[in-house]
């Protein structure tokens, strides 16, 4: 008898992933993340838009990278690989390290000097990866690991590995299943541009060709869930947002010295450049950019008004959606999904910038604490 409990993406979507049937799934139960509607933010804007976040920070290592990593590492192990390598701004290295540990193989991760969030480095270390901090940025690291994959016995698990994008496309499946349709707009942060490429692939596979009939395949039910009978016939407009200091898609060319507080997307030469442009063009989408201040303000807004804590890079998707909703570029009545790519706990340093204003020290007696409560509620 097959297991009915959720066992991760490969269990849920084996029919839509290019893995051999006898490949041993390397899984930590990734995927199946919540789609959370942001009522508070849209109510306070007074707009009639159904705004959702796909909370990918709730994956096993705290980011969307786990979706790609389960498939890439499963394939690497099936091919007999005993070591994986990646360059990373942090989340890919955390995920690669965890899945390598799970598989019982080695992980080598190249990270930019001093520019990755503390939580991500802690993960790579705890999962036993060999961490190589290079005197250079992510783009330098990317160049080197591509060469290593040719000249050393290591499998490359950055998103240039097609199995990564295959895994990541499943987030689009889950969104269609949860909504019973594709959203009108999908907003997400763009760094190396793998994820926007993967979502577009997922939505495209989900959509039925014009004139075709059928149902959206729902893998979690036996054909009797409320959404099962609805056909997914459309694809969303894909909107990509970048940090102003690291915005090659806005500049129209690679950025030599990318900078941003959102270190996850501090990337100047995206590897999936042409695929991301194609997704944008085919879907009628666009790119836009945000300053570090805009990004941090939106991160704070999400955490303090919706209870959703994401890392700075992730907040750029909601910053973008809110701006475009306010401007009417995303019109009233739309259904909008933003991907929150990573958990806020990844980068505690950024959060602590708010700590001075939020923490007050009082004496350890009931009167002092009551006074503080009443003062705050006044």
Residue 321 near residue 330, CB atoms below 8 Å: yes
What's the number of CA atoms in the CB half-sphere (13 Å) around residue 165?
21
Burial label, 333 (beta-carbon count in 10 A; 0-12, 13-18, 19+): exposed
Site string for ligand AN7, 250-289 (x = CB under 6 A): --------------xx------------------------
Q: Is 91 in the site for ligand AN7 (CB under 6 A)?
A: yes
Given the complex with ligand AN7, which of 25 and 62 has the nearer CB atom?
Answer: 62
123-151 as b/e, with b when 16 or more CB fall inside 10 Å? bbeebebebeeeeebbbbbbeebeebbee
Stretch of residues binding ligand AN7 (CB under 6 A), selected from 21-29, 84-92, 215-223, 321-329: 84-92
Q: Is 194 in the site for ligand AN7 (CB under 6 A)?
A: yes
> Minimum Å distance from CB 343 to ligand AN7?
9
Size of residue set near ligand AN7 by CB under 6 A = 21
Q: Is 190 in the site for ligand AN7 (CB under 6 A)?
A: yes
Residue 240 near residue 250, CB atoms below 8 Å: no
Q: Is 89 in the site for ligand AN7 (CB under 6 A)?
A: yes
- Candidate list 66, 311, 324, 347; residue touching ligand AN7; CB under 6 A: 311
Stretch of residues binding ligand AN7 (CB under 6 A), selected from 45-53, 122-130, 293-301, 309-317: 309-317
- Candidate list 31, 167, 183, 189; residue touching ligand AN7; CB under 6 A: 189
- Candidate list 313, 336, 337, 350; residue touching ligand AN7; CB under 6 A: 313
- Candidate list 42, 195, 260, 283; residue touching ligand AN7; CB under 6 A: 195
Helices 312-326 and 292-306: angle between axes, nearest 10 degrees: 90
Distance in angstroms (rounded) separating the CA atoms of residues 59 and 313? 16
- Candidate list 8, 31, 60, 90; residue touching ligand AN7; CB under 6 A: 90
Residue 17 near residue 205, CB atoms below 8 Å: no
218-254 as b/e, with b when 16 or more CB fall inside 10 Å? bbeeeeeeebbeeebbebbbbbbbbbbbbbbbbeeee
Question: Per DSSP, which regions of 27-129 are E strands?
Answer: 35-37, 50-55, 83-87, 106-112
Neighbours of 38 (CB within 10 A): 22
Given the complex with ligand AN7, which of 76 and 198 has the nearer CB atom?
Answer: 198
Report CA-CA distances (Å) from 179 to 37, 56, 75, 251, 365: 11, 17, 31, 35, 50
Phi/psi at 38 (nearest 5 deg)?
-95, 80
> Minimum Å distance from CB 315 to ligand AN7?
10
Copy the structure tokens of residue 263: 């270190």
Sheet holding 155-156, edge to edge: 130-134, 106-112, 83-87, 155-156
Given the complex with ligand AN7, which of 41 and 340 has the nearer CB atom?
Answer: 340
Given the complex with ligand AN7, which of 62 and 183 has the nearer CB atom?
Answer: 62
> Minimum Å distance from CB 189 to ligand AN7?
4
Site string for ligand AN7, 206-225 (x = CB under 6 A): --------------------
| Angle, vertex CA 91, rays to CA 89 and CA 92, nearest 5 | 85
Given the complex with ligand AN7, which of 216 and 314 has the nearer CB atom?
Answer: 314
- Candidate list 92, 161, 298, 299; residue touching ligand AN7; CB under 6 A: 92
> Minimum Å distance from CB 120 to ligand AN7?
8
List of residues contacting ligand AN7 (CB under 6 A):
63, 88-92, 159, 189-195, 264-265, 311, 313-314, 341-342
């Amino acid at each position: 008898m097959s297991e009915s409990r959720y066992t991760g993406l490969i269990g849920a979507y084996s029919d839509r992933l290019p893995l051999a049937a006898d490949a041993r799934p390397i899984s930590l139960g990734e995927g199946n993340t919540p789609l959370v509607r942001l009522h508070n933010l849209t109510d306070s804007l007074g707009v009639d838009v159904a705004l959702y976040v796909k909370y990918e920070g709730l994956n096993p290592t705290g980011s969307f990278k786990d979706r790609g990593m389960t498939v890439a590492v499963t394939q690497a192990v099936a091919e007999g690989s005993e070591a994986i390598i990646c360059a990373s701004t942090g989340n890919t290295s955390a995920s690669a390290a965890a899945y390598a540990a799970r598989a019982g193989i080695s992980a080598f991760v190249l990270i930019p000097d001093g520019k990755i969030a503390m939580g991500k480095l802690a993960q790579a270390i705890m999962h036993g990866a060999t961490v190589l901090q290079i005197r250079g940025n992510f783009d330098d690291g990317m160049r080197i690991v591509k060469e290593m994959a040719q000249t050393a016995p290591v499998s490359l698990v950055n998103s240039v590995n097609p199995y990564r994008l295959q895994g990541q496309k499943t987030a689009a499946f889950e969104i269609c299943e949860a909504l019973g349709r594709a959203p009108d707009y999908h907003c997400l942060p763009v760094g190396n541009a793998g994820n926007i490429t993967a979502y577009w692939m997922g939505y495209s596979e989900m959509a039925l060709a014009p004139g075709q009939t059928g149902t959206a395949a729902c893998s979690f039910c036996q054909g009797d869930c409320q959404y099962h009978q609805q056909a997914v016939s459309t694809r969303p407009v894909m909107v990509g947002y970048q940090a102003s200091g690291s915005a090659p898609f806005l500049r129209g060319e690679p950025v030599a010295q990318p900078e941003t507080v959102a270190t996850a997307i501090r990337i100047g030469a995206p590897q999936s450049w042409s695929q991301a442009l194609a997704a944008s063009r085919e879907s009628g989408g666009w790119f836009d950019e945000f300053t570090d201040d805009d990004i941090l303000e939106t991160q704070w807004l999400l955490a303090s008004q919706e209870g959703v804590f994401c890392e700075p890079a992730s907040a750029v998707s909601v910053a973008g959606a809110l701006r475009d909703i306010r401007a009417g570029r995303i019109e009233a009545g739309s259904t909008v999904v933003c991907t929150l790519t990573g958990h806020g706990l990844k980068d505690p340093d950024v959060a602590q910038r708010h700590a001075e204003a939020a923490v007050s020290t009082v004496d350890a007696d009931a009167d002092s604490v009551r006074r503080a409560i009443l003062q705050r509620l006044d």
